[in-house]
Chain A
Amino acid sequence: MMRKIYGWPLICFMSVVGMTTSLRAEKMAFPEEELARESVLPKFDVPNSVRNRNVVVEGRFELGGFLGKVTDEAVHSQDQMGFLGTYHINEVHGVNLSYGLMGTGVGDYAKTLNSEVNLDLSKTFGPKSVALVSYQLTAFYGKLSILKNLVVNTHIYGLAGVGSVMYDGLTALAFDFGLGQRFYLSKNFALRFDLKFVRYSGPNPIYRPSGRSQNQSKDDLRNGVLKIRDFESTTYMLTHLTGGLVFLF
C-alpha cells in the first residue's frame, strides 16, 4: 500500500525536482529594434496632472519691483521702473496691478533729429507714468532642470487689462495685453519677466498745426510755450519689456 503511494510516481517527482532545482536562469538578450519604442500613459476621464505643487500661489499676494524699457518709443525716454502687485485667486486666475514711472528727457532718436534737422522735441509732452490693472491667467505651471543640478519652478501666464497713461495735464485710457514668466528662486521669491503691448491715445510730439510753417512750428517747439492741448492726438501701440523681483506671502 505504501509502495503504491510512495513508489514510482514519488521517485520520479523527486528526481525531477532534484534536477530542476539546479537549473540556472539564462540571460535573454533581445535586439534593440524589437523592444518597445513608444511609452503610453493611461487616459483619465478627469485628468489631474499635478498632485502636489512645490510652489502654491492660491490665496497669496505677490509684491515686487521692476525695471524695463518701452522698446519702440520714438521720441521720449524708453526707460521705465515701477512696482507691481498680484493677488492669486487660485492657481489659475489672478489680478495684477502695476505702476510704472517713465524716464525723463528724450531718447537718442530725438537728439539725432535735433542735431540733423534742427527739430527740437525735448519740450514736448511724454508719458509720466503708466498704471494698469490686468487679469492674469496662469496657464502653465512646471519646473525646469538647470544643468541637471538645480530644479526651478516656473509659471507662464497671460495678461489683459485696462489702465491709464498719465501726462502733465492729461490722463489717457489705456489697454494692455501680453505674456509673462516667473522663475521661482524659492517658494517666496521669484524673478518675473513681462512683455506687454499697451495701446492708448496721447499727444503727437510731431507738432505742426495747419496754418503754421515749418520754421514757425520749430520755433514753437524750441521755445516751450505750447500746452498739451495744442498737440493733436494719435494712437500708440508700444511694447513694454520689464523684468523684476517679486515676493509672495
Chain B
Amino acid sequence: MFQGLKRKSKQWKSTGLKVKGIFFYALSLILILFGDRFALANDDFDLDAIEREMSRRGEEQAESSQPSAQDRSLREDAKQLTFQDLPKLSAFSDVTVIQKRFMPKTNRFQIYGGVDFLTNNPFFDSYGFNGRFSFFFTESLGVEIGMWSHSVSPRTITADLQSKYRITTKTMLSSLSYLGASLIYIPFYGKMTFLDKVIIPYDFYFSIGGGTTETSYLDKTAPSIHLGTGEIFSITKSFAWRWDLSYVSYTARIPDVKDDGSLVDSGKKQSLGDLYLGIGLTLLFPGASYR
C-alpha cells in the first residue's frame, strides 16, 4: 500500500512538475506574444497605424521596384560618370544653393569704421573717416545711419590755376562731411577661398538713402541722395572687413568772388556728385544665436 502510495506520490510529483513546467512555459509564451499589451496598453491604435503605414509603403515599393526604361538608361549612364563629371550634371529644379550663412545678421546691430577717399574730384584730394551704424531686420534687409568726414586739399592743377591765373578755387565746391540714413539690401551671398587656404563667406549689398552734405561754402545741410554698393567679408561670426563704393549727389549754393577776394552768394546752385571708395572693419552684435 505504502509503495502504492509512494508510486502515486511520485506520479503526483512528476505530474505536478509537469503541470508547473507547462504553466510557466505557457506564461512565458503569453508574455512573449502579448507582453506589449501589458507594457503599453494605451498604444494599441499605434500598431494599427503602423500596419497601415507598412502596407502602404509596401505597395509603393512594389510599384517602384520595376525600373522604367528611362531609369534603366539613366542608371547605365550614371555608371559611366566620374567625379570629374559632377559639374556637367543637369541643374535641379528646386535646390537650395547655400543653406546656412556663416555670419547671421538678423536682429543684429553692426558698427562699421573705416577710411575712404574721393575718387572723382579732379581739383581736390579728399580723405577721411567713415562710420556707420546698422540694424538688420532680416538677412537681406537692414537700415543704416552713416557719417563721413573729410579733409580737403587742393591738387596741383588747382594750385596752378590759383598761382598762374588767379582763378580762385574758393568757388569750387567740395564736400566736407555727410550724414544720412539708407536702406541696405543684400541679395547676394557667397563664399570665397583665399589662395586656396581658407574659405571666407561674404555678402554683396546695395544701399540707397538720403541725408545732408556740408560743403566748403555756405551750405551746411545741402540735401543729398546716396547710392552705394560693397562687400562684407566675414572673419568670424561677428567680425568682418568691408569695402564700400558710395555715390553722393547733392545740390548746393555756389559762391561768387568780389573784387576784394571775398565770397558772396551768387544766387546759383550747382549739382555735384562725389564717388567715395572706402575700406574698414565691421562688428556685429549681439552674438550669433543660431546653431
A: which residues have CB within 8 A of B?
3, 11, 14-15, 17-19, 21-24, 35-37, 39, 47-50, 52, 54, 71-75, 91-92, 109, 113, 117, 119, 139-149, 151, 154, 156, 195, 204-206, 208, 214, 217, 234-235, 239, 241
Q: Can you name 23 A-B residue pairings with CB atoms under 8 Å? A: A11-B25, A15-B35, A19-B31, A22-B40, A24-B40, A24-B43, A49-B196, A49-B198, A74-B155, A109-B122, A113-B167, A139-B195, A140-B200, A141-B193, A142-B190, A143-B192, A144-B204, A145-B189, A147-B188, A149-B97, A156-B192, A204-B156, A206-B165
Residues B164 and A206 in contact, CB atoms below 8 Å apart: yes
Residue among A49, A54, A147 having the largest count of chain B Cβ atoms under 10 Å: A49
What 0/1 readout, one digit per residue, does chain B (236-260) give for beta carbons within 8 Å of chain A? 0000000000000000000000000
Chain B positions within 8 Å of A217 at CB level: 164-165
Interchain nearest-CB distance for B291 vs A (Å): 5
B6 close to A (CB within 8 Å)? no
Given contact pairs A35-B291, A146-B187, A47 touches B122 in the complex (Cβ within 8 A): no
Chain B positions within 8 Å of A22 at CB level: 35-36, 39-40
Given contact pairs A22-B39, A71-B120, A117-B165, A11 touches B192 in the complex (Cβ within 8 A): no
Cα separation A17 to B83 with both chains bound (whole Å): 47
B109 close to A (CB within 8 Å)? no
Cα separation A14 to B289 with both chains bound (whole Å): 49
Residues A14 and B188 in contact, CB atoms below 8 Å apart: no
Smallest Cβ-Cβ distance to A3: which chain B residue: B21
Residues B24 and A19 in contact, CB atoms below 8 Å apart: no
Cα separation A244 to B208 with both chains bound (whole Å): 25
Interchain nearest-CB distance for B224 vs A (Å): 19
Chain A positions within 8 Å of B155 at CB level: 74
The 8 A-B pairs at the shortest CB distance, nearest first, are namely: A22-B36, A144-B190, A142-B192, A74-B122, A18-B32, A71-B120, A206-B160, A18-B35
Chain A positions within 8 Å of B194 at CB level: 139-140
Cα separation A123 to B199 with both chains bound (whole Å): 53
B197 close to A (CB within 8 Å)? yes
Smallest Cβ-Cβ distance to B156: which chain A residue: A234
Chain A positions within 8 Å of B74 at CB level: none
Cα separation A73 to B40 with both chains bound (whole Å): 86
Count of A-B contacts with CB under 8 A?
Answer: 146
Chain A positions within 8 Å of B200 at CB level: 140, 142
Cα separation A145 to B190 with both chains bound (whole Å): 6
Smallest Cβ-Cβ distance to B123: which chain A residue: A74
Beyond A11-B25, A206-B161, 5 additional contacts (C-beta under 8 Å) are A24-B43, A49-B198, A52-B87, A74-B157, A143-B191
Residue among A71, A117, A145, A217 having the largest count of chain B Cβ atoms under 10 Å: A145
Residues A15 and B187 in contact, CB atoms below 8 Å apart: no
Residues facing A in B273-291 (CB within 8 A) are: 275, 277, 288-291
Cα separation A22 to B202 with both chains bound (whole Å): 51
Chain B positions within 8 Å of A92 at CB level: 195-196
B33 close to A (CB within 8 Å)? yes
B86 close to A (CB within 8 Å)? yes
Chain A positions within 8 Å of B189 at CB level: 144-145
Chain A positions within 8 Å of B160 at CB level: 204, 206
Residues facing A in B91-109 (CB within 8 A) are: 96-98
Cα separation A214 to B275 with both chains bound (whole Å): 34
Interchain nearest-CB distance for B169 vs A (Å): 12
Residues A141 and B97 in contact, CB atoms below 8 Å apart: no
Chain A positions within 8 Å of B38 at CB level: 19
Chain B positions within 8 Å of A3 at CB level: 21
Contact of B191 among A17, A71, A142, A208 (CB under 8 A): A142
B153 close to A (CB within 8 Å)? no
What 0/1 readout, one digit per residue, does chain B (177-192) give for beta carbons within 8 Å of chain A? 0000000000111111
Chain A positions within 8 Å of B191 at CB level: 142-144
Chain B positions within 8 Å of A147 at CB level: 187-188
Residues B87 and A148 in contact, CB atoms below 8 Å apart: no
Interchain nearest-CB distance for B249 vs A (Å): 15
Cα separation A82 to B81 with both chains bound (whole Å): 43
B48 close to A (CB within 8 Å)? no
Interchain nearest-CB distance for A74 vs B (Å): 3
B9 close to A (CB within 8 Å)? no
Residues B164 and A11 in contact, CB atoms below 8 Å apart: no
Given contact pairs A18-B31, A71-B275, A147-B187, A48 touches B165 in the complex (Cβ within 8 A): no
B121 close to A (CB within 8 Å)? yes
Chain B positions within 8 Å of A144 at CB level: 188-191, 202, 204
Residues B156 and A235 in contact, CB atoms below 8 Å apart: yes
B46 close to A (CB within 8 Å)? yes
Cα separation A37 to B288 with both chains bound (whole Å): 8
